[in-house]
Amino acid sequence: MSTPIKNRYDFVLVFDVKDGNPNGDPDAGNLPRIDAESGQGIVTDVCLKRKVRNFAQLTKSSQAGFDIFIKEKGILNQQIEKAYADLQINLDEPPKDAKDGKKRNTKKEGQGSEVGQARQRMCQDYFDIRTFGAVMSTGANAGQVRGPVQMTFGRSVDPIVTMEHSITRMAVATEAEAEKQSGDNRTMGRKNTVPYGVYVAHGFVSAHLANQTGFTGDDLDLLWEALTNMFEHDRSAARGMMATQKLVIFKHDSALGNAPAHKLFERVTLKRKNESKPARDFSDYAFAINRDGLPAGVSILEKP
């Protein structure tokens, strides 16, 4: 793999949804998430990171170092135990290095420098740990690591409207249900969608934390590719039409950065062209990037 990145990055992710539910809230009957005060739609950072993980797993699963730690139906403690096994550290025996102790303080749990070795191995093996960090202090214990890539919630530019649709399934699950309906065999259900919404999320890439996890230029390229294309491989009847419309990346010439992130984000604007009618397409918005007077040491990359 290449060496850890040396530059700080900040980015703006613009995506939209049409006739779909971008991120249902299980505590609210899976309704689209919404800010109760402003009416703006919400998509959590966890939801967006899940899609990045899924894209990486889909496109890089055959390559060493690009496994995914937090994946569907995964058992995390087993993966931590595997890291110790790969390091040939037997957790049933006393530590090899006397500095780590003469006996196991807790059965089948790493201690002392072993934890650091396991954490480094986990970072080496798993793309999402190098990227987003992870809590690995359960089971055999590989400690914790803070990832260099952090993201905010996605928030819609305008208030959203949630629509509820009645749907019919032309079948029933059991014979008892069929008998109750005298053979009509219909099941009613509900589906919640957003007619249209444009969402904006912000992200940050720390070169300092990248050095700690080993987040490389190859990892960064995969992150940009995932953010640009993740919705193309995440289709479902519930999500309708979703797409990344813009990814604006601010690259700093230094590891610490050359300008405050929030000031750079202010240069990206989205405004509805016609306030008198509801937006139903991204073309209904005027998108702009203010490139005038860009701080020294900062450059802009726009995708797609």
Domain extents in the chain: 9-61+146-303
**Partners of residue 18 on adjacent β-strands:** 196, 241
Print pLDDT tens along the chain (304 aa): 579 999 999 999 999 999 999 999 999 989 999 999 999 999 999 999 999 999 999 999 889 999 999 998 999 999 999 999 999 999 999 999 989 999 999 999 999 999 999 999 999 999 999 999 999 999 999 999 999 999 999 999 999 999 999 888 888 888 888 888 877 888 888 899 999 999 999 999 999 999 999 999 999 999 999 999 999 999 999 999 999 999 999 999 999 999 999 999 999 999 999 999 999 999 999 999 999 999 999 999 999 8
Asked if 2 contacts 65 with a C-beta cutoff of 8 angstroms, the reply is no
Query: Looking at residue 173, what is its pLDDT?
Result: 86
How many CB atoms are closer than 10 A to CB 174?
Answer: 8
Contacts of 120 (CB under 8 A, 6+ apart): 214
Query: Looking at residue 1, what is its pLDDT?
Result: 55
Query: Looking at residue 115, what is its pLDDT?
Result: 97
How far apart, in whole angstroms, are the C-alpha atoms of residue 164 and residue 159?
A: 17
Q: How many residues does the chain have?
A: 304
The structure tokens 């509900």 sit at 190
Asked if 80 contacts 118 with a C-beta cutoff of 8 angstroms, the reply is yes
pTM (two decimals): 0.94
How far apart, in whole angstroms, are the C-alpha atoms of residue 181 and residue 271?
A: 51
Classify 246 as helix, strand or coil. Answer: strand
